[in-house]
Amino acid sequence: MPKELLLQVTPEIAANELLLKDYLSKQIKVASAEIQHVSILKRSIDARQKAIKINLKVLIYLKGEVFQENILQLPDYPNVTNAQEVIVVGAGPAGLFAALQLIELGLKPILIERGKDVRGRRRDLKAINRDHIVDEDSNYCFGEGGAGTYSDGKLYTRSKKRGDVNRILELLVAYGATLDILVDAHPHIGTNKLPKIIEDIREKIKECGGQVLFETRVIDILIKNNEVEGIVTQNGDRILANKLILATGHSARDIFELLDRKKILIEAKPFALGVRAEHPQSLIDSIQYSCDYRGELLPPAPYSIVKQVAGRGMYSFCMCPGGVIAPCATSPGEVVTNGWSPSKRDQVTANSGIVVELKLEDFKPFAKFGALAGMEFQKSIEQKAWHLAGKTQKVPAQKMIDFTQSKVSKEIPKTSYVPGTTSIELGQVFPGFLTQILRQGFTEFGKSMRGYLTNEAILHAPESRTSSPVRIPRDGITLEHLQIKGLYPCGEGAGYAGGIISAAIDGEKCALMVGEALNKKPRII
């Protein structure tokens, strides 16, 4: 039987197979040559001490013990060309994993996506970055793979159900992600690798007989006697089916407006809003690893920080080590930031959303919009940022200490945000209470992370699409909308996920509930 061991080693030992075998041979008192193979099951960094250690969980195979490479297979999907059709709107992680799960159940997904496929989408991202042109259907949030396609591809989640998380991670590996994502405590894929994985998922859906429609925007949902009948596209085409998984993400404002207009129950939902802070990665490394130079063996350091300020949580969100700040607007006339990293996280800057939790009462000035009050609050800040920075995709920016002292920065050095920055006192972008909390919060952050509060850090505003400003209520068991039969609100836009993995899990859950309603049970393979 292979021996399982938990150990803490230096980064040098963790990175070198021979050194690791030598180390283990002493631990288990067996000659190094007797160790056939060491499988790493879990890996994390312990940076609490000055001498950084790597925690490993390993499985040691001695000579003569049977060792097999961990090759993950795709499920044995049936052909669903002639099966019952289910509409899935949105090809983000929720929609894609819903479609795959429907196929496993023997149902035919019709996956409808307003944006372009991953290749076509690239050109539109260039247009935002270089020409300040925002295509309302194809941008950093809309298009094949959804909001997570051009991201850091962080794959951790607060979900307590390890089984669900592992299933998604294993499927991603089967579709081409590296085995490392099953091992690392904080796995990530990276912008350069995600598109190919997403393309392969789409090709599998098509190969199994599912339908995938790009550049097809849903503009209406057909409903009769409180039951779904189908959808209408922007071209006036009707696609009919009485089961609809609605996975349109947190930025599909037209979908929220459509539901509101049709008097389909939706609710305002609190979210978080703030800025995206960019530091030199070397500075974050020196804070997190207590060193002058990170060296070759440690990855660019991430950070995670949270403080209570004036009774509200202020915290880092979607931190991207070695990453780039991206222009994530989904309409002309607004500015929105978020961040991405390549798989090696080898850019010279580290960025993170730094956001403050909002409460429903903050949306009072927008009360006339009812359930859309939070969305209008969010929109107003994004539009103000656009006006202040010069009515392009340039972003309002300020040095961090200058912001805490309400001082306009004399000049803003070049940041990773390609469309450029305009020096603005960021207090002008936010309501007063939010500015106060952010100012105080950054001062508090500086006390916990020495060196964090610095004018080397540039704040970009706003970071506003942290989660959906709307919830689409659904039954806790059937996952069907509370009023409309056959409508399954799904993923982040409906308020049931916050990130790639949790959205994918929710997609699978909704598909399973559609299967349940249609008497289709998951096959045991």
| CB of residue 302 to ligand FAD, shortest distance in Å | 11
Choose which of 11, 115, 302, 441 interacts with ligand FAD (CB under 6 A): 115
318 scored as a contact of ligand FAD (CB under 6 A): yes
Neighbour count for residue 226 (Cβ, 10 Å)? 12
416 scored as a contact of ligand FAD (CB under 6 A): no
88 scored as a contact of ligand FAD (CB under 6 A): no
Helix or strand or coil: residue 406?
A: coil
* Count of residues that interact with ligand FAD, criterion CB under 6 A: 43
Nearer to ligand FAD, 93 or 396 (CB): 93
Helices (H), 290-371: none
CA distance 144 to 364: 35
Give the phi and the psi of residue 361 in degrees, each rounded to 5. -65, -20
| CB of residue 260 to ligand FAD, shortest distance in Å | 14
302-309: long-range contacts (C-beta < 8 A, 24 or more apart)?
A: 302/186, 302/350, 303/350, 303/352, 303/449, 305/445, 305/448, 305/449, 305/452, 307/441, 307/444, 307/445, 307/448, 309/356, 309/437, 309/440, 309/441, 309/444
Question: What is the full DSSP assignment across 185-243?
Answer: SS-B--TTTHHHHHHHHHHHHHHTT-EEE-S--EEEEEEETTEEEEEEETTS-EEE-S-
264 scored as a contact of ligand FAD (CB under 6 A): no
The residue range among 45-53, 241-249, 414-422, 508-516 that interacts with ligand FAD, by the rule CB under 6 A, is: 241-249
CA distance 185 to 179: 13
| CB of residue 319 to ligand FAD, shortest distance in Å | 9
Residue where the block lists tokens 């247009």: 127
Choose which of 11, 106, 109, 153 interacts with ligand FAD (CB under 6 A): 153
CA distance 456 to 348: 13
Classify residue 193 by burial, with Cβ atoms within 10 Å: 0-12, 13-18, 19+: middle
Encoded one letter per residue, x for contact with ligand FAD by CB under 6 A and - for no contact, window 216-235 reads -xx-----------------
Choose which of 154, 474, 509, 520 interacts with ligand FAD (CB under 6 A): 154
Whether the Cβ atoms of residue 154 and residue 108 lie closer than 8 Å to each other = no
Evaluate the omega torsion of the peptide bond into residue 462 and state whether it is cis, within 30 degrees of 0.
yes
Identify the helix (H) or strand (E) that includes residue 181.
helix 180-183
| CB of residue 419 to ligand FAD, shortest distance in Å | 14
382 scored as a contact of ligand FAD (CB under 6 A): no
Q: Report residue 332 as tokens.
A: 């002309």
Q: Report residue 123 as tokens.
A: 């050109």
C-alpha distances out from residue 233 to 240, 249, 250, 287, 513, Å: 11, 17, 20, 51, 25
| CB of residue 224 to ligand FAD, shortest distance in Å | 21
Among the listed residues 382, 426, 384, 386, the one whose alpha carbon sits nearest the alpha carbon of residue 403: 426
| C-alpha triplet 146, 154, 421: angle, nearest 5° | 75
| CB of residue 513 to ligand FAD, shortest distance in Å | 16
| CB of residue 134 to ligand FAD, shortest distance in Å | 13
Nearer to ligand FAD, 11 or 491 (CB): 491
CA distance 385 to 425: 11
Encoded one letter per residue, x for contact with ligand FAD by CB under 6 A and - for no contact, window 484-503 reads -------xxx---xxxx--x
302 scored as a contact of ligand FAD (CB under 6 A): no
The residue range among 123-131, 134-142, 165-173, 351-359 that interacts with ligand FAD, by the rule CB under 6 A, is: 134-142
Nearer to ligand FAD, 138 or 242 (CB): 138
| CB of residue 93 to ligand FAD, shortest distance in Å | 4
Encoded one letter per residue, x for contact with ligand FAD by CB under 6 A and - for no contact, window 333-352 reads -----x-x------------
141 scored as a contact of ligand FAD (CB under 6 A): yes
Residue count of the chain, please give it: 525
190 scored as a contact of ligand FAD (CB under 6 A): no
Choose which of 23, 77, 142, 214 interacts with ligand FAD (CB under 6 A): 142
The residue range among 67-75, 178-186, 248-256, 361-369 that interacts with ligand FAD, by the rule CB under 6 A, is: 248-256
Choose which of 85, 124, 152, 480 interacts with ligand FAD (CB under 6 A): 152
113 scored as a contact of ligand FAD (CB under 6 A): yes
Q: Which residues bind ligand FAD (CB under 6 A)?
A: 89-95, 112-115, 140-143, 146-148, 151-154, 217-218, 247-249, 252, 254-255, 318, 326, 328, 338, 340, 491-493, 497-500, 503
